[in-house]
C-alpha cells in the first residue's frame, strides 16, 4: 500500500470510531490491523491491540478492563475461535481497500499529545495483565530517538515478521516506519527464508528468529546487504550473536526496553556492538543503578543493581491501577524497571535479568542469571539455557540450570561454567530438558519451569 492508500483506509476507520472512548483491534498480521491502528491515532481514540490467539479469559479481561466500546476486525472471514456472543461489544469490520478523503485527517481535531494513543497489555506474569497507557508524545519521542540511533531514514526498507500487538512489532515495526517515512515489509511469519527474500536494509527480530536464521547459513548470508540487524525483546545468546556476525558480515545491534518505557537503551548504527551488551541510553533518556539499600551502584561494568529509567518515553500509568502505578515509580519520579543491570564507565548497559527471578543470592554472593546462561550457551552442545535460584538450606539459594543440549552431561556443563566464571557462579544442578517454555516474544517463562 502507498502512504496515500493507507491514510485513506485509516481515515475511513477514523470516521467509523470517532467519539469512542477506546477501541480494541484483533491484531492479526495484516494491512487491516495497520489501518485500524492508524485510524485510532487519527481519531484520537485509544487503540487496544488484542492478541489474535488470546484465550477467552485473557480476551475478556482485556476487553472489559480497557473500556473498549468497539472491536475492529481486520479479517473478512471473522475471528476463528472467537465467539461474538462472548465479546459483549459491537464488531466493526475493517476493509483496507475502503477509502475516505485523506483531507479528513487534516480537518479533524488534532489529538492532544498527552492523551492515550495506545493501551498495551503486559504479559501478566504476576497476575492479570495490566493496561499500559502510552501517549502520542511518548511514542513520538521514542521513535525519533531510535531514528537517530539507528540512522533510520525514508530510504530504508524495514523487514520483520513480528506480532502486531507488542511494542516491537507494532510501535517500532509499523509506527516507526510511518514516523520516518520508510517502507515496511511484513513477512507474515518470521522465517529465515522470508527474511532472506525481502531485500531490506533494516531488519527487526527476536532472539528466536535470529537463532533460526543463524542456523540457516544461506538465509543469513542473504542479509549481508542490509545495513542494520536489530535484536530485542529478550537477550540474544552470545553464540547466536557470533554466528550472525560471521555469516552476515556485521554484528547485530541489541536494544532494551519495556512496554512501560518503550525502548530506552540501544546500540547505535555507527557505534560498537558487543555481545551481551545492549548499548547506551537514547537521546533524552537517563538511567541509574540502585542497590537494595537505595544507594547508587558504581558504573564499573561489574556491579549490579536495579535499573531505573527517566525520560519522555515513559508511560502515563496503568489503566485503572493507581496503586500499581505508584508502586512502579520512585518518590523522585524514576520508573523501577525491576531489571538488574550493570553499566560500564562508558555508559554501555548489560542486562542481567529480572530482580524477581534473575538475581540469585547464593552463599553471600549476588549472581546474575544472565551471566551464567551466557557461559552455558558458549558450550557447543548447548542450544538453550535458563538459570534460576532455588531455596537452599545452607546457601540461601542454589543456582539451578535448565538446559536443552546434546552430547553433554550436567556434570560436564557445571565444570565448563566453573572454568569460565568464578566457582561460586557454577550451577549446583543442571537439569536437561527437551525444550524451554517461551512466550510469543521468545522470552523464557521461568516461572513455568518445574523443579525436580
Domain residue ranges of the chain, discontinuous segments joined by +? 3-111, 157-354, 363-448
**What is the arithmetic mean of pLDDT over 370-399?**
87
> How does pLDDT run across 101-122, given as a tens digit for each residue?
767 666 666 667 778 999 999 8
pLDDT at site 124: 52
H-helix segments, 199-256: 207-214, 217-222, 238-248
> How does pLDDT run across 305-321, given as a tens digit for each residue?
999 999 999 999 999 99
pLDDT at site 109: 64
Contact criterion met (CB below 8 Å) for 381 and 405: yes
For 393, other C-beta atoms within 10 Å of its C-beta total 6
pLDDT at site 207: 87
pLDDT over threshold 90, residue 77: no
Residue reference for cell 510501535: 171
Are domains 3-111 and 157-354 of this chain identical in fold? yes
Q: Tell me how many degrees the CA angle 356-392-342 measures, rounded to the nearest 5.
A: 35
Which comes out higher in pLDDT, residue 211 or 171? 171
Band (pLDDT 50/70/90 cuts) for residue 424 is confident
pLDDT at site 441: 61
Contact criterion met (CB below 8 Å) for 221 and 262: no
Range name among 60-69, 91-100, 360-369 with the lowest pLDDT average: 360-369
Q: What does the mean pLDDT of the chain come to? A: 90
Which comes out higher in pLDDT, residue 42 or 126? 42
Say how far residue 374 (Cα) sits from the centre of its chain: 20
What are the cell numbers at 329?
515509580
Q: Cβ neighbours of residue 200 under 8 Å, at least 6 residues apart? A: 156, 157, 158, 159, 185, 226
pLDDT over threshold 90, residue 438: no
**What is the arithmetic mean of pLDDT over 274-288?**
96
CATH class name, domain 363-448: alpha beta
**What is the arithmetic mean of pLDDT over 273-297?**
94
Q: What percentage of the chain has pLDDT greater than the value 90?
A: 70
pLDDT over threshold 90, residue 397: no
CATH code of the domain occupying 3-111 = 3.40.50.980
pLDDT at site 86: 58
pLDDT at site 83: 64
Range name among 172-186, 199-213, 387-401 with the lowest pLDDT average: 387-401
Q: Tell me how many degrees the CA angle 152-156-157 measures, rounded to the nearest 5.
A: 130
pLDDT at site 84: 57
pLDDT over threshold 70, residue 126: no
**CATH value of 157-354 in 3.40.50.12780, 3.30.420.40, 3.30.1860.10, 3.40.50.10260:** 3.40.50.12780
Going by C-alpha positions, the residue among 105, 111, 66, 117 that lies closest to residue 87 is 66
Residue 223's region, left for phi above 0, alpha for psi from -120 to 50, else beta, is alpha
> How does pLDDT run across 344-373, given as a tens digit for each residue?
999 999 998 777 777 787 876 667 788 788
H-helix segments, 249-368: 322-328, 355-358
What are the cell numbers at 292?
537494595
Band (pLDDT 50/70/90 cuts) for residue 81 is low
Amino acid at each position: 500500500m502507498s502512504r496515500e492508500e493507507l491514510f485513506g483506509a485509516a481515515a475511513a476507520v477514523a470516521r467509523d470510531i470517532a467519539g469512542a472512548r477506546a477501541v480494541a483491534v484483533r491484531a492479526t498480521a495484516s494491512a487491516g490491523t495497520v489501518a485500524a491502528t492508524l485510524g485510532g491515532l487519527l481519531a484520537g481514540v485509544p487503540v487496544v491491540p488484542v492478541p489474535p490467539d488470546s484465550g477467552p479469559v485473557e480476551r475478556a479481561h482485556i476487553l472489559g478492563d480497557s473500556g473498549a466500546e468497539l472491536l475492529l476486525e481486520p479479517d473478512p472471514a471473522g475471528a476463528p475461535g472467537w465467539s461474538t456472543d462472548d465479546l459483549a461489544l459491537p464488531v466493526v469490520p475493517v476493509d483496507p481497500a475502503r477509502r475516505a478523503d485523506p483531507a479528513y485527517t487534516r480537518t479533524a481535531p488534532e489529538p492532544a499529545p498527552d492523551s492515550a494513543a495506545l493501551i498495551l497489555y503486559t504479559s501478566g506474569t504476576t497476575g492479570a495483565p495490566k493496561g499500559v497507557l502510552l501517549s502520542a508524545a511518548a511514542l513520538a519521542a521514542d521513535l525519533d530517538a531510535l531514528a537517530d540511533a539507528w540512522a533510520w531514514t525514508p530510504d530504508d526498507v524495514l523487514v520483520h515478521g513480528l506480532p502486531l500487538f507488542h511494542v516491537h512489532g507494532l510501535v517500532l515495526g509499523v509506527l516507526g516506519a510511518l514516523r520516518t517515512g520508510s517502507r515496511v515489509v511484513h513477512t507474515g511469519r518470521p522465517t529465515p527464508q522470508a527474511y532472506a527474500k525481502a531485500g531490506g536494509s533494516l531488519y527487526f527480530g527476536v532472539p528466536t528468529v535470529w537463532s533460526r536464521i543463524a542456523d540457516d547459513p544461506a538465509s543469513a548470508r542473504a542479509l549481508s546487504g542490509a545495513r542494520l540487524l536489530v535484536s530485542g525483546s529478550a537477550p540474544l545468546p552470545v553464540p547466536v550473536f557470533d554466528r550472525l556476525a560471521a555469516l552476515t558480515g556485521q554484528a547485530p545491534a541489541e536494544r532494551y526496553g519495556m512496554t512501560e518505557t518503550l525502548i530506552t537503551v540501544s546500540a547505535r548504527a555507527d557505534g560498537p556492538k558487543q555481545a551481551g551488551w545492549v548499548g547506551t541510553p537514547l537521546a533524552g533518556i537517563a538511567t541509574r543503578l540502585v542497590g537494595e539499600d537505595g544507594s547508587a551502584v558504581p558504573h564499573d561494568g561489574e556491579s549490579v543493581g536495579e535499573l531505573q529509567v527517566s525520560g519522555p518515553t515513559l508511560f502515563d500509568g496503568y489503566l485503572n491501577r493507581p496503586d500499581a502505578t505508584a508502586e512502579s515509580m520512585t518518590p523522585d519520579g524514576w520508573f523501577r524497571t525491576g531489571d538488574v543491570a550493570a553499566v560500564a564507565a562508558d555508559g554501555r548497559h548489560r542486562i542481567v535479568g529480572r530482580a524477581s527471578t534473575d538475581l540469585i543470592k547464593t552463599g553471600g554472593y549476588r549472581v546474575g542469571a544472565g551471566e551464567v546462561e551466557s557461559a552455558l550457551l558458549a558450550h557447543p552442545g548447548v542450544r538453550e539455557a535458563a538459570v534460576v535460584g532455588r531455596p537452599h538450606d545452607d546457601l540461601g539459594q542454589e543456582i539451578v540450570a535448565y538446559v536443552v543440549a546434546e552430547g553433554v552431561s550436567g556434570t560436564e556443563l557445571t565444570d565448563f561454567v566453573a572454568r569460565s566464571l568464578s566457582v561460586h557462579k557454577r550451577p549446583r544442578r543442571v537439569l536437561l530438558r527437551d525444550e524451554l517454555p517461551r512466550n510469543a516474544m521468545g522470552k523464557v517463562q521461568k516461572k513455568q519451569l518445574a523443579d525436580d
